[in-house]
Amino acid sequence: MKPLMLITNDDGVAAKGLKELREVAREFGDVVVMAPESNASGQSHSLTTTRPLRVHEVRKEEGLEVYSCDGTPVDCVKLAVEYFCPRRPNLVLSGINHGSNSSINVLYSGTMAAAIEATTLDISAIGFSLLNHNPEADFSAGLPYVRHIIGYALEHGLPTDVALNVNIPRLEAKDIKGLRICHEAKAQWLESFEKRVDPRGIPYWWLTGKFVCDTPEEGSDEWALANGYVSVVPIHPDLTRHQVIDCLKPMTSESL
Amino acid sequence: MKPLMLITNDDGVAAKGLKELREVAREFGDVVVMAPESNASGQSHSLTTTRPLRVHEVRKEEGLEVYSCDGTPVDCVKLAVEYFCPRRPNLVLSGINHGSNSSINVLYSGTMAAAIEATTLDISAIGFSLLNHNPEADFSAGLPYVRHIIGYALEHGLPTDVALNVNIPRLEAKDIKGLRICHEAKAQWLESFEKRVDPRGIPYWWLTGKFVCDTPEEGSDEWALANGYVSVVPIHPDLTRHQVIDCLKPMTSESL
ipTM of the complex: 0.92
From the list B53, B178, B195, the residue facing A255 with the nearest CB is B178
Give chain B's largest Cα–Cα span: 65
Q: Is A12 left (phi over 0), alpha (psi -120 to 50) or beta?
A: left
Torsion sign across C-alpha atoms B28, B30, B33, B34: negative
- Please identify among residues 80-99 of chain B the ones whose CB lies closer than 8 Å to any CB of chain A: 82-83
Query: Is the pLDDT confidence value at B49 over 90?
Result: no
Q: What is the mean pLDDT of residues B207-232?
A: 93
A26 membership: H or E segment, kind and range: helix A16-26
Asked if A67 and A57 count as a contact pair (C-beta separation under 8 A), the reply is yes
What pLDDT is recorded for position B85? 97
**Residues 6 or more apart whose Cβ sits within 8 Å of residue B69:** B34, B35, B36, B37, B53, B54, B55, B56, B75, B76, B79
Q: Is A200 on the interface with B (CB under 8 A)?
A: no
* CB–CB contact A46 B44 (8 Å): yes
From the list B144, B205, B248, the residue facing A79 with the nearest CB is B205
Residue numbers in B near A177 (CB within 8 A): 254-255
Q: How many CB atoms lie within 10 A of CB A161?
A: 18
Burial B33-68 (b: 16+ CB within 10 A, else e): bbbbbebbbbbbbbbbeeebbebeeeeeeeebbbbb
Query: Is the pLDDT confidence value at B43 over 90?
Result: no
Query: Is the pLDDT confidence value at B30 over 90?
Result: yes
* CB–CB contact A255 B177 (8 Å): yes
- Please identify among residues 55-74 of chain B the ones whose CB lies closer than 8 Å to any CB of chain A: 55, 74
Q: In whole angstroms, give the CA distance from residue B123 to residue B81.
A: 10
pTM of the model: 0.94
Q: In whole angstroms, give the CA distance from residue B179 to residue B177.
A: 7
Residue numbers in B near A102 (CB within 8 A): none
What pLDDT is recorded for position A237? 92
Q: What is the pLDDT of residues B55-105, one digit of tens each?
A: 999 999 999 999 999 999 999 999 999 999 999 999 999 999 999 999 999
* CB–CB contact A233 B240 (8 Å): yes
Among chain A residues, the shortest Cα distance to B204 is held by A54
Query: Is the pLDDT confidence value at A153 over 90?
Result: yes
What pLDDT is recorded for position A123? 96
Chains A, B: CB contacts within 8 A come to 252
Q: What is the pLDDT of residues A7-55, one digit of tens each?
A: 999 999 999 999 999 999 999 999 999 999 988 878 899 999 889 999 9
- Please identify among residues 1-40 of chain A the ones whose CB lies closer than 8 Å to any CB of chain B: none
Q: What is the mean pLDDT of residues A224-234?
A: 97
Burial B124-159 (b: 16+ CB within 10 A, else e): bbbbbbbbbeeeebebebbbbbbebbbebbbeeebe
Residue numbers in A near B192 (CB within 8 A): 78-79, 82
In which band, very low, low, confident or very high, does the pLDDT at A244 lie, cut at 50, 70 and 90?
A: very high
How far the first Cα of chain A sits from its last, in Å, is 59
* CB–CB contact A79 B203 (8 Å): no
What pLDDT is recorded for position A209? 86
In which band, very low, low, confident or very high, does the pLDDT at A254 lie, cut at 50, 70 and 90?
A: confident
Q: How many CB atoms lie within 10 A of CB B182?
A: 29
